Structure formats: C-alpha cells, structure tokens
Amino acid sequence: MTGFVDAADILKGRYEEGADVKVRGWIYTSRSSGGIQFLELRDGSGVIQCTLNRRNIDETTFNEVERYPLETALELKGVVKKDERAPGGWELRVNSIGDVYVSQQDYPIVKKEQGLEFLMDNRHLYVREPKLQNIFQIRAKFLEAARDWFREKGYTEVHTPMFMTASVEGGSTLFNVEYFGRKGVYLSQSWQLYAEALISSMGKIYTIAPSFRAEPSRTRRHLSEFLHLELEEPWTDLDGIMTTGDRLVSHIANVLGEEIPEKVRKAGGDPDYLAGLKPPFPRMSYDDAVDTVQKQGVEMYWGDDFGWQQEGPLTEQFEKPTWIVGYPSGIKPFYHMPNPDRAEVTMSADLLAPAGYGEIIGGGQRVHDYEQLYQRTIDDGLDPSNYAWYMDLRKWGTVPHSGFGLGVERVLMWMLNLEHIRDTVPFPRDMRRVYP
Ligand code: 4AD
Ligand code: MG
C-alpha cells in the first residue's frame, strides 16, 4: 500500500466522513465483541480506533487479525467514520489489510499497574505508551517554539564542546572523562564559558544541548544529563537578561497553551494558564525571599542556598514564575558580577516556578573586568591558570554581558504539572540509571 495518512489528522477531522484512507501503525489494544474486532492503532502521531466487521471482510483475514498479538505492525485501508463511542470521536472502518509484521506473544508492558522499576528496565518498550508519546510531542513543540522565538529576535544558534577542562558550576557535580589517557577532562555542565567567547564573534547567541551534572542526590527534579537551553547577550545587564527570560518563557507557554491545548491537558497541564501567561514576571530580592521562608517557619539563614525544602513553600503561593534576585557571592560561581553597591551579593537571578516546582532558570550578569574576574577566581578557591583563555577574553574588547540557562525538563515538568522529571525525557539518566 502507499499514501498513508496520520491518525492525528483523522482525529482532528481533516478527513470527511466516508473518505477512503490508509493508515499504518502498531496494535496498541485489541478486543472483539459481537462480530466486531476493535483495534487501537498507534502510528506515531496518535492512536486511532480501527474496526473490522465480520460481515464486511473475508473470514480468513478477520480470524487472522483476531490472533495478532499486541504490537503487531500492520497497514489498514478503510473508510473514515465519525463515532461518539470511539476514543477521540473518529474511527476507521477497515475493509482491507496490507503488509503485516507480526509481533511475538506476551508483550511485557500490560495495561494493568506495573512497578516503576520494571517499567524503567523496559523503557525501550514503555516509550511507546501514548502518555509518554504525548509528552515527547509537547517537548518537541516546546523546542520549536523556543527556536522560532530566537530566530524572530535575532539570536544565532551555536554549539560548544561537551568535553572541557574546567568546571563552570563548581567541582562537586563534575563528571570525569577518561580522555585518551589524559586527566582533568570533564563533561560540560554549561556552555557558558565558551558562549562568553562567542558573543564577540556572533552577538546574541543561544544553544540547546545536553549538560551533565554528577548530582549525588535522588530527587524529583534532578537528572545527571539534561537538556540545557542557554543564551548569552553582549551589551546586556541583569535587568535586560531577566526581561529576555520573561518573554522567552511566556512565548513558549503561550504556544503550548494556544496551539496544542488538548495535548497539554492530556499530560496534566492547564492550557488556559499557559496561554494567559504574560510578561513581566515578578521580582523578589534574595533578602526578601529569605525573610519569607523564615516567616513560613522553614529553617534558613542569610547566605544559604535554597534547596527544595525552601523553594517548595516559597513558591507555593506564586501565581507566575518569579525571579529571586541578588544571591550572596558565597553561593554563586566565580563568574557572577558583584553588585557595585553591595559587594556581598551578586548581579544574579534565578527564576522559580510556582506551586513548589522551584528553580527553572539560573543566570545573571558576568564579570567583564579582568582584575575583578581574577580576584573572584581566587576567592572562589579556583586556580586561575585553569581559566586562562576565559580570562583572556577580558583583555580584548570586553563589554558588559549577561546570560542564563534554562532546564528544559524542569520547565516541562512545571508546565505539565508532572510529579517527576523522568517522564519529560525518553531515556532519563540519573544516579542509578544508565540502562536502557
Ligand atoms: O543554575 P545552573 O547550574 O546555571 C548554569 O549552569 C549557568 N552556567 C547557566 C548560564 O548562565 N548559561 O543551571 C541552569 C538551569 C537550572 O536553573 C535548572 O533549570 C537546570 O539548568 N538544571 C537541571 N535540570 C535538571 N537536572 C539537573 N541536575 C539540573 N541542574 C541544573
Ligand atoms: Mg542554579
């Protein structure tokens, strides 16, 4: 057979009742009742109900289809029908069958409750579940919306190495790599240092690439490999970069809420909330945030970093994502610019998502003065010689500049109200899992 259509297009009503179409996909569910065989066919775009009536199809074909195990892949030709009883309101009344790729019996993923560990061990099959398929499609739309926004606003996409010789976000989460027998090579935690070199070449830039963190903690929101959407802008200060963040995050939310509301709802999100999210986002000083947390009776002292114990209660009442601005130097990496009026805090800001989701963006203004950067490196206990090329940038046309990193999985988790970060990614990597 040739000329196949997508299940999703039938479900969207793109084909008139009575239209002859062909579909192909995998049998997701199968049951028969009263001389009718009901197949739910999953084709990558969605799941469409296909029915075979004993009266309209030859006996041998009907009996064969009845015996096909789940996940058998096949081609079907039939007539489009509107039917309230079918999931999604449309079905295909099948009149002939094309090629068939028969599956083995006893597909391990069954529709009843199965343990998390079992499902993670069988993730290579479990990724076929419509629930996950839906989230992965939303993730793709998310990235498309981000790239559209960057193109429209004049940013250029650029990629930087994953192998590097210095830490960006502190030594405790560095992954060591055995690099042709050489020591001191790590997986990238962030593109940032290279991005600061590239702004003098390309102006406003962004990347969408994995970052790696040897996070020893097992939490709902940490992966050891995550997708990092980062941007860097020359001639931009802290205020400017927060405004950029407001617009980018709102744009992505609006696209998801307006263009794929059904998918968002199915995943657990609220498309109306996302469609209605508008900049600017509120800003709160680090000092006020500490006060708020203390008043909530949660232990925290000025100078401490927020963990989920603090971010949870702090963000519970937020309606919009909110910037926490001006973190103490002691809890931010060396590259953050000290506040010229108050040296103990930095020109940094994290964006915290509401409802306990917490940090989704980290960024701020960078030190652009050579002497100051040298001193910050020493103060942070780092060896300046490891950052020689990075500091060199400050000698040749250094300008104020800022940037941030957004965790794609973190934002998806918040936008879709997911309980755990793992389902935003097909094959999640964490402390305990690198298989399959
Ligand atoms: O706050 P982070 O560590 O900031 C940086 O890496 C900066 N160098 C970025 C920049 O300015 N270009 O990480 C940025 C974001 C966090 O806010 C969070 O959303 C996400 O990356 N992130 C993680 N997501 C999932 N799992 C982890 N282990 C993550 N670590 C950070
Ligand atoms: Mg951070």
Distances in whole angstroms, Cα of residue 356 to Cα of each of 26, 353, 422: 38, 7, 17
User: What is the rounded distance in angstroms from the CA atom of residue 118 to the CA atom of residue 126?
Assistant: 10
Shared domain for 237 and 287, answered yes or no, is: yes
Q: How are beta strands 322-325 and 283-285 bridged, if at all?
A: parallel
Residue 111 has pLDDT above 90, yes or no: no
Rounded to two decimals, the pTM is 0.97
Residue 106 lies in a domain: no
Phi, psi of 235 (to 5 degrees): 60, 30
Task: Choose one of 213, 408, 429 to mutate for the ligand 1 pocket test, by most ligand atoms within 8 angstroms of C-beta.
Answer: 213
Strand partners, 229: 208, 406
Domain boundary among the residues 44, 67, 101 is at: 101
User: What is the rounded distance in angstroms from the CA atom of residue 189 to the CA atom of residue 12?
Assistant: 42
| Residue-by-residue DSSP string for 224-292 | SEEEEEEEEEET--HHHHHHHHHHHHHHHHHHHHHH-HHHHHHHT--HHHHHH--SPPPEEEHHHHHHH
Shared domain for 83 and 179, answered yes or no, is: no
User: In angstroms, what is the span from residue 305 Cα to ligand 2's centroid?
Assistant: 10
Residue 435 lies in a domain: no
Q: Which of 15, 6, 108, 99 is nearest to 47 (CA)?
A: 6
Domain boundary among the residues 101, 136, 171 is at: 101
Residue 218 has pLDDT above 90, yes or no: no
Phi, psi of 30 (to 5 degrees): -150, 130
Shared domain for 76 and 204, answered yes or no, is: no
Which atom from ligand 1 is nearest to the alpha carbon of 195?
12
Residue-level pLDDT at 190: 98
Count Cα atoms within 13 angstroms, Cβ side, for 170. Answer: 11
Shared domain for 228 and 360, answered yes or no, is: yes
Shared domain for 344 and 413, answered yes or no, is: yes
pLDDT grade for 164, boundaries at 50, 70 and 90: very high
Residue 113 lies in a domain: no
Note down the domain range covering 242.
Answer: 124-424
Residue-averaged pLDDT of the chain? 97
Residue 353 has pLDDT above 90, yes or no: yes
Q: 334 exposed, middle or buried (CB, 10 Å; 0-12, 13-18, 19+)?
A: buried
Residue 177 lies in a domain: yes
* Ligand 1 pocket residues where CB is under 6 Å: 168-169, 189-190, 192, 213, 215, 222-223, 226, 228, 230, 359-363, 403-407, 409-410
Neighbours of ion ligand 2 (CB under 5 A): 362
Edge-to-edge strand ranges of the sheet holding 156-157 = 156-157, 205-212, 225-234, 401-407, 358-365, 348-353, 322-325, 283-285
Residue 34 lies in a domain: yes
Report the domain count for the chain.
Answer: 2
Digit-coded pLDDT (tens) for 39-71: 999 999 999 999 999 998 999 999 999 999 999
Mean pLDDT, range 127-143, rounded to an integer: 97
Residue-level pLDDT at 112: 86
Shared domain for 275 and 413, answered yes or no, is: yes
Domain at 68, CATH number: 2.40.50.140
Domain at 162, CATH number: 3.30.930.10
Which atom from ligand 1 is nearest to the alpha carbon of 411?
19
Shared domain for 162 and 63, answered yes or no, is: no
Shared domain for 305 and 196, answered yes or no, is: yes
- Closest ligand to residue 321's CA: 1
Shared domain for 77 and 152, answered yes or no, is: no
Shared domain for 84 and 146, answered yes or no, is: no
Strand partners, 51: 38, 93
Q: String of b and e for 348-377 (b: at least 16 CB within 10 Å)?
A: bbbbbbbebbbbbbbbbbbbbeeeebbebb
Phi-psi category of residue 397: left, alpha or beta, with phi > 0 → left and psi -120 to 50 → alpha: left
Residue 79 lies in a domain: yes
Shared domain for 169 and 78, answered yes or no, is: no
Shared domain for 334 and 214, answered yes or no, is: yes
Task: Choose one of 160, 164, 222, 248 to mutate for the ligand 1 pocket test, by most ligand atoms within 8 angstroms of C-beta.
Answer: 222
Mean pLDDT, range 316-332, rounded to an integer: 97
Residue 217 has pLDDT above 90, yes or no: no
Residue 216 has pLDDT above 90, yes or no: no
Residue nearest to atom 28 of ligand 1 (CA): 222
Digit-coded pLDDT (tens) for 255-279: 999 999 999 999 999 999 999 999 9
Task: Choose one of 217, 218, 228, 244 to mutate for the ligand 1 pocket test, by most ligand atoms within 8 angstroms of C-beta.
Answer: 228
Q: Which of 321, 409, 326 is nearest to 358 (CA)?
A: 321
User: In angstroms, what is the span from residue 8 Cα to ligand 2's centroid?
Assistant: 38
Residue 118 lies in a domain: no
Residue 109 lies in a domain: no
Digit-coded pLDDT (tens) for 293-315: 999 999 999 999 999 899 999 99
